[in-house]
């Protein structure tokens, strides 16, 4: 039996990447990924860009039951937590299921520390003056333009209607 190497970011599931190669004929400029859906026993192909956006590799500390989603994968109920990881999506570093509250707290602490590292890295990137300048330009551009829903509302009110004199019934 093939071991799962990836899972879908939104839908979950068990997938194994089989091959990665350049496309031919019509897909000549595309990188193609061949993968196997282990739940349905189907081999499928997709572009490398789609693969990177929608599938994530299974980490060593991901729960083997839910593959890191934290939801009940056995019954398929997304509202119930996984019984293998108690809804955390992660297990202990040795791959074992946490058995008591202290072990669950240890797993949760690892998740929190990982998220703190990610936030610190993003803060470091945001501290660069070039990034600040781009963000300020983007904010200024957004402030100049009215919101999208405002533009749609104005276009709707200015367009022809079916009321008296060709005007719209707006309720006022």
CA distance 64 to 158: 58
Q: What is the pLDDT of residue 71?
A: 83
Range in 73-87, 105-119, 158-172 the model is least confident about: 158-172
Length of the chain: 172
Which residues, including other chains, have CB under 8 Å from residue 55's CB and lie 6 or more apart? 6, 7, 8, 9, 15, 35
What average pLDDT does this structure show over 62-91? 83
| Residue 146's pLDDT band (cuts 50, 70, 90) | confident
Q: What is the pLDDT of residue 171?
A: 65
Its pTM stands at 0.60
| Residue 137's pLDDT band (cuts 50, 70, 90) | very high
| Residue 168's pLDDT band (cuts 50, 70, 90) | low
Place of tokens 């202990």: 92
| Residue 102's pLDDT band (cuts 50, 70, 90) | very high
CA distance 67 to 73: 9
What average pLDDT does this structure show over 25-46? 83
Whether pLDDT at 120 is above 90: yes
Q: What is the pLDDT of residue 40?
A: 87
Whether pLDDT at 159 is above 80: no
Place of tokens 């963000």: 135
Q: What's phi and psi for 84, nearest 5 deg? A: -85, -30
Whether pLDDT at 47 is above 80: yes
| Run of H or E residues at 6 | strand 6-8
Closest by Cα among 93, 62, 97 to 83: 97
- Looking at the chain, the whole-number percentage of residues with pLDDT higher than 90 is 23
CA dihedral in degrees (37, 42, 45, 51; nearest 10)? -10
Q: Count other Cβ atoms within 10 Å, centred on residue 111.
A: 13
* DSSP sequence for 7-32: EETTTEEEEEEEEEEE--GGGTTSEE
């Amino acid at each position: 039996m093939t071991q799962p190497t990836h899972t879908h970011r939104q839908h979950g599931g068990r997938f194994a990447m089989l091959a990665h190669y350049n496309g031919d004929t019509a897909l000549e400029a595309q990188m193609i990924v061949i993968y196997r859906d282990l739940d349905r026993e189907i081999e499928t192909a997709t572009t490398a860009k789609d693969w990177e956006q929608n599938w994530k590799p299974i980490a060593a500390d991901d729960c083997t039951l839910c593959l890191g989603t934290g939801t009940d994968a056995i019954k398929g109920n997304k509202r119930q937590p996984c019984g293998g990881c108690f809804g955390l999506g992660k297990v202990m570093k040795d791959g074992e299921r946490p058995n008591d509250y202290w072990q669950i707290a240890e797993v949760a602490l690892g998740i929190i520390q990982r998220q703190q590292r990610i936030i610190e890295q993003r803060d470091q990137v945001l501290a660069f003056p070039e990034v600040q300048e781009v963000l300020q330009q983007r904010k200024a551009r957004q402030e100049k333009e009215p919101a999208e829903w405002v533009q749609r509302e104005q276009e709707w009110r200015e367009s022809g209607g079916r009321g008296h004199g060709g005007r719209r019934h707006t309720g006022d």
